[in-house]
């Protein structure tokens, strides 16, 4: 008779296993706990509660002047958005940009200053990478959840997302997904109904590439090419035209595309050079 399959390992069991491991101690667990507490306390003031007549969602500050990144489906067709900040202030924001291609939008709030979430590098994510999110799932405001990256879809895929098993619910949409350093690497966008923790995030560099008002905030290489033409960097496909913003390691990179049957290849030294146009 086969042994029963354990569907879910509880947090308590994981804790016990961690303590039974060689060289483990309560001090190790305390260090992990302290890191997570500090990360939440640093991240929470940057996360915003958003509401329209059609529902609620999450968003987060991307600059120090009140600009909030969220999902397009959170703001829907509204122009005015009700917002609540972590300190309790209630404000009305206005939608200043929507992406035509991906589920992203920007809301401007009338504040003198705001705490932006630092931007990480989603290209450093691997299956198994630790990630976390703060949002308002099922109306539970400023809820902190953790998990890992379950899958990463290749560049050029129809849906430019990565999969995570962070526990997320309606209301978390538009919230930040951060790495272990507390840097945002993605935006919560959707989950699979009737499935356990099958959720998706849009990579943060996709947001920079699809929302013009974010371009100045990204320390990126801007690559332009004709519509839907595959773009390659160092022999790896990184996306399609007309415009990509890429976070790259410093140094020389080969950027190319095949346009009308001919290869257009250009060498750039990043970050000394921050823009390249192919097909012109």
| Residues 157-207 pLDDT 10s | 556 689 998 988 889 999 999 999 999 999 999 776 666 778 899 988 888
pLDDT of 37 above 60:
yes
pTM exceeding 0.75: yes
State how far the alpha carbon of 46 is from the alpha carbons of 28, 109, 153, 183, in Å. 28, 13, 28, 12
pLDDT of 236 above 90:
no
Mean residue pLDDT of the chain comes to 86
Q: Do both 90 and 174 map to the same domain?
A: yes
Catalytic residue among 99, 129, 133, 173: 173
The question of whether 82 is a catalytic residue gets the answer no
| pLDDT (average), residues 8-13 | 47
The three-state secondary structure class of 34 is helix
Strands 262-270 and 221-224: unpaired
The question of whether 103 is a catalytic residue gets the answer yes
Q: Do both 125 and 231 map to the same domain?
A: no
| Residues 68-91 pLDDT 10s | 999 999 999 998 999 999 999 999
Confidence class for position 103, pLDDT limits 50, 70, 90: very high
The question of whether 136 is a catalytic residue gets the answer no
Which CATH number fits the domain that encloses residue 237? 2.60.40.1120
Q: Do both 192 and 252 map to the same domain?
A: no
Catalytic residue among 46, 58, 99, 103: 103
pLDDT of 56 above 80:
yes
Tokens standing for residue 99: 């992406």
Q: Do both 81 and 36 map to the same domain?
A: yes
Domain's final residue, options 217, 232, 254: 217
Q: Domain range spanning residue 266?
A: 219-277
- The confidence score (pLDDT) of residue 3 equals 40
Q: Do both 45 and 130 map to the same domain?
A: yes
């Amino acid at each position: 008779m086969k042994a029963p399959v354990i569907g879910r390992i509880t947090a308590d069991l994981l804790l016990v296993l961690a303590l039974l491991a060689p060289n483990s101690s309560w001090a190790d667990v305390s260090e992990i706990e302290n890191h997570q507490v500090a990360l939440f306390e640093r991240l929470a003031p940057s996360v915003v509660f958003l509401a329209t007549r059609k529902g609620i969602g999450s968003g987060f500050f991307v600059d120090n002047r009140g600009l909030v990144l969220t999902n397009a489906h959170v703001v829907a067709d509204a122009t005015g958005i009700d917002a609540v900040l972590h300190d309790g202030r209630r404000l009305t924001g206005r939608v200043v940009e929507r992406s035509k291609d991906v589920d992203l939008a920007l809301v401007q709030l009338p504040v003198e200053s705001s705490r932006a979430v630092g931007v990480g590098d989603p290209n450093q994510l691997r299956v198994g990478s630790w990630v976390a999110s703060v949002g308002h799932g099922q109306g539970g405001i400023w809820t902190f959840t953790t998990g890992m990256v379950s899958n990463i879809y290749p560049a050029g895929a129809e849906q430019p997302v990565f999969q995570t098993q962070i526990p997320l619910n309606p209301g978390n949409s538009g919230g930040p997904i951060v790495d272990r350093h507390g840097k945002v690497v993605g935006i919560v966008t959707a989950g699979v109904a009737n499935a356990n923790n099958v959720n998706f995030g849009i990579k943060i560099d996709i947001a920079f590439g699809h929302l013009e008002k974010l371009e100045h905030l990204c320390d990126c290489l801007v690559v332009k090419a004709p519509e839907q033409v595959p773009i390659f960097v160092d022999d790896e496909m990184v996306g399609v035209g007309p415009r990509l913003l890429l976070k790259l390691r410093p140094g020389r990179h080969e950027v190319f595309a095949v346009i009308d049957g001919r290869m257009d290849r250009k060498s750039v030294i990043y970050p000394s050079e921050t823009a390249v146009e192919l097909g012109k």
